[in-house]
Amino acid sequence: MQRALQLAQLGKGNVSPNPMVGAVIVYNDTIIGEGYHKKYGEPHAEVNAVASVKTEDLALLQDAEMYVTLEPCSHYGKTPPCADLLVKHRFKKVYVCNLDPNPLVAGRGIKKLEDAGIEVETKLLEDEGFEVNKRFFKAMLQKQPYVILKYAQTADGFVARENFDSKWISNAQSRQLVHKLRAEEDAILVGKNTALYDNPSLTVRDWTGSHPIRIVIDRYLSLPLSYHLFDQSVETLVYNIEKSKETDHLKYIALKEDDFFSSLLNDLFERKIHSVIIEGGSFVLQQFIDQRLWDEAHVFTSSTSKFGKGISAPLLTNKEKVKAKNILGDDYSIYYRLKD
Ligand code: AOF
Ligand code: ZN
30 CA to centre of ligand 1 in angstroms: 26
pLDDT of residue 319: 58
Give the number of other CB atoms < 10 A from CB of residue 115: 10
Secondary structure letter of residue 215 according to DSSP? E
Name the active-site residue from 34, 46, 71, 185. 46
Residues 336, 304 contacting (CB under 8 angstroms): no
Secondary structure letter of residue 43 according to DSSP? -
Comparing C-alpha atoms, which of 233, 169, 173, 171 is closest to residue 200? 233
Secondary structure letter of residue 80 according to DSSP? -
- ipTM for the predicted complex comes to 0.92
Q: Is the dihedral of CA 69, 73, 79, 84 positive or negative?
A: positive
- Closest atom, ligand 1, to C-alpha of 21: 3
Within the chain, residue ranges assigned H as helices are 2-8, 45-51, 82-88, 108-115, 126-132, 134-142, 172-183, 192-198, 260-270, 282-290
Q: Phi and psi for 118 in degrees, rounded to 5?
A: -90, 130
71 CA to centre of ligand 1 in angstroms: 9
On whether 182 is known to bind a ligand per the annotation, the reply is: yes
Using CA atoms of 101, 107, 109, 112 in order, give the dihedral in degrees to the nearest 10.
-170
71 in active site? no
78 CA to centre of ligand 2 in angstroms: 9
- Closest atom, ligand 1, to C-alpha of 71: 21
On whether 73 is known to bind a ligand per the annotation, the reply is: yes
Query: Atom 20 of ligand 1 has which residue's CA nearest to it?
Result: 73
pLDDT of residue 318: 60
In the chain, the domains with their CATH numbers are 1-138 (3.40.140.10), 143-337 (3.40.430.10)
Comparing C-alpha atoms, which of 298, 340, 20 is closest to residue 180? 298
Distance between CA atoms of residues 8 and 98, nearest Å? 13
pLDDT of residue 89: 95
| From 66, 73, 76, 84, mutation site for ligand 1 pocket: most ligand atoms within 8 A of C-beta | 73
Q: Taking ligand 2, which is a single-atom ion, which protein residues have CB atoms under 5 Å away?
A: 44, 73, 82
Ligand 1 contact, 18 CB (< 6 A): yes
Strand 296-301 with 332-337, pairing: antiparallel
Ligand 1 contact, 81 CB (< 6 A): no
On whether 202 is known to bind a ligand per the annotation, the reply is: yes
Burial class (CB in 10 A: 0-12, 13-18, 19+), 230: middle
Distance between CA atoms of residues 95 and 74, nearest Å? 16
pLDDT of residue 164: 44
Segments of the chain with pLDDT less than 70: 160-171, 318-324, 326-330
266 CA to centre of ligand 2 in angstroms: 26
On whether 135 is known to bind a ligand per the annotation, the reply is: no
pLDDT in tens, 287-322: 999 999 999 999 888 877 777 777 888 888 765 556
Those residues with Cβ within 8 angstroms of residue 55's Cβ, 6 or more apart along the chain or in another chain: none
SS3 state of residue 143: coil
Distance between CA atoms of residues 102 and 274, nearest Å? 13
**Exposure string (b/e) for 155-179, b if CB count within 10 Å is 16 or more?**
ebebbbeebbeeeebbeeebeebbe
Q: Give me the amino acid identity at 13.
A: G
pLDDT of residue 167: 47
- Closest atom, ligand 1, to C-alpha of 78: 8
| From 14, 42, 44, mutation site for ligand 1 pocket: most ligand atoms within 8 A of C-beta | 44
Strand 93-98 with 30-36, pairing: unpaired
pLDDT in tens, 171-185: 677 778 889 999 999
Ligand 1 contact, 83 CB (< 6 A): no
46 CA to centre of ligand 2 in angstroms: 7
Q: What is the pTM of this model?
A: 0.90
On whether 152 is known to bind a ligand per the annotation, the reply is: yes
Residues 154, 309 contacting (CB under 8 angstroms): no
